[in-house]
């Protein structure tokens, strides 16, 4: 945040916003339980941004902890395929007056769920490649794309967190890995590879691959494609109930993916077959998936910087409201923007609204 910025007050949908004067043309684009988001223009660099104002972040310890965690996560994310922070500010200069802070992120054109219809193979390649690049230490929540077909992961929780209340991470059932649905066995990082496979399949075929009406139906839909697993896999299951359930299933053979995805290339089909495997231990990690020939035309070593470990020491801390507030204030005041890398890859793809 720059020194001595001049702030302007504006009321938007009965909420007072106080932002540095360089941010203009505020317009609400989203609202939820924890805050609302406006699009705005950064007049200094003529760039469209999204500004999030948290809803009364210090009304309780849980809200203050959530606010601090969101700030910490966004400050930590320094990958071009993950929504990170461009700026963070508060209109006040002292902790005593501190009540609100605002998070500034890149403005994204649409979310992936609105990108309907059959996408051309080069678009699918580019989007799946970016998902896997951004996935190496994250769980995807929402996936957003801008007009240049650049994708970012936003609104995520970290893979090791189990506190859904804190992370707000809820995956639509249709994209959930089978081991999550039945709580079968240990989760590995390939739980997200399944989700990427489902999204890739949907982009190729223009419709949801596994559209279960409930969890059991979801599982049946999955087995009709992957086939019912053999005894080796059943042995791996932790729960006796899960073993019994799988043994009782009718015998579904594995479907031929080239029939299932007639529009996909041979490499695309091969990658989908590797990602959509029932046994999580058999799925590739994000790093391995990125080495697949499907991405030969896109691969750039600069896309895969070594991720810094996330310091989660505060995630389970029990602190007072005042202590969470002090941590938030310090986090806001110490923010330094991450210098953005100019992509060497000239992206010629565009998304149509």
* Catalytic residue ranges: 137
Q: What would the two tokens of residue 156 be?
A: 């995520």
Sign of CA dihedral 171, 176, 179, 183: positive
Crossing angle of the two packed helices 191-205 and 121-134, in degrees rounded to 10: 160
Q: Is residue 339 classed exposed, middle or buried when 0-12, 13-18 and 19+ CB atoms within 10 A define those classes?
A: exposed
Q: What would the two tokens of residue 106 be?
A: 């890149």
Q: Which residue has the tokens 């995805």?
A: 261
With a CB cutoff of 8 Å and minimum separation 6, the contacts of 73 are 156, 158, 310
- CA distances to 76, 82, 203, 300 from 120, in Å: 34, 23, 9, 21
CA-nearest of 78, 72, 65, 34 to 52 is: 34
Produce one character per residue of 234-254: b if its CB has 16 or more CB atoms within 10 Å, e if not.
eebbeeeebbebbeeeeeeeb
Coil, helix or strand for 17?
strand
Q: What would the two tokens of residue 183 be?
A: 């709580």
Q: Which residue has the tokens 């059991």?
A: 216
Q: What would the two tokens of residue 2 be?
A: 């720059």
């Amino acid at each position: 945040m720059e020194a001595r910025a001049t702030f302007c007050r504006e009321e938007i949908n009965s909420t007072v916003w106080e932002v540095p004067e360089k941010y203009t043309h505020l317009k609400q684009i989203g609202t939820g339980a924890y805050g609302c988001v406006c699009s705005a223009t950064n007049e200094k660099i003529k760039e469209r941004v999204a500004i999030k104002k948290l809803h009364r972040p210090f009304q309780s310890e849980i809200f203050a902890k959530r606010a601090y965690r969101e700030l910490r996560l966004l400050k930590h994310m320094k990958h071009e395929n993950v929504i990170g922070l461009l700026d963070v500010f508060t209109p006040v200069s002292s902790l005593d007056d501190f009540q609100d802070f605002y998070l500034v992120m890149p403005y994204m054109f649409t979310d992936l769920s609105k990108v309907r219809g059959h996408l051309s193979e080069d678009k699918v390649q580019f989007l799946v490649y970016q998902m896997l690049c951004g996935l190496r230490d994250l769980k995807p929540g929402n996936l957003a794309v801008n007009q240049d077909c650049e994708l970012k992961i936003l609104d995520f929780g970290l893979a090791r967190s189990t506190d859904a209340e804190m992370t707000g991470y809820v995956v639509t059932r249709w994209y959930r890995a089978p081991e999550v649905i039945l709580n079968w066995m240990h989760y590995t990082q390939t739980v997200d590879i399944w989700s990427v496979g489902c999204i890739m399949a949907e982009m190729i075929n223009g419709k949801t691959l596994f559209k279960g009406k409930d969890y059991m139906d979801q599982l049946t839909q999955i087995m009709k494609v992957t086939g019912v697993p053999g005894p080796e896999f059943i042995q791996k299951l932790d729960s006796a109930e899960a073993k019994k359930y799988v043994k009782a299933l009718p015998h579904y053979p594995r479907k031929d993916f080239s029939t299932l995805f007639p529009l996909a290339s041979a490499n695309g089909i091969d990658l989908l077959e590797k990602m959509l495997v029932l046994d999580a231990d058999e799925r590739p990690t994000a790093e391995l998936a990125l080495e697949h020939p499907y991405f030969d035309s896109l691969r750039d070593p600069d896309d895969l910087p070594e991720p810094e470990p996330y310091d989660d020491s505060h995630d389970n801390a029990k602190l007072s409201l005042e202590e969470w507030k002090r941590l938030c204030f310090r986090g806001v005041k110490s923010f330094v923007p991450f210098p953005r890398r100019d992509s060497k890859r000239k992206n010629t793809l565009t998304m149509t609204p």
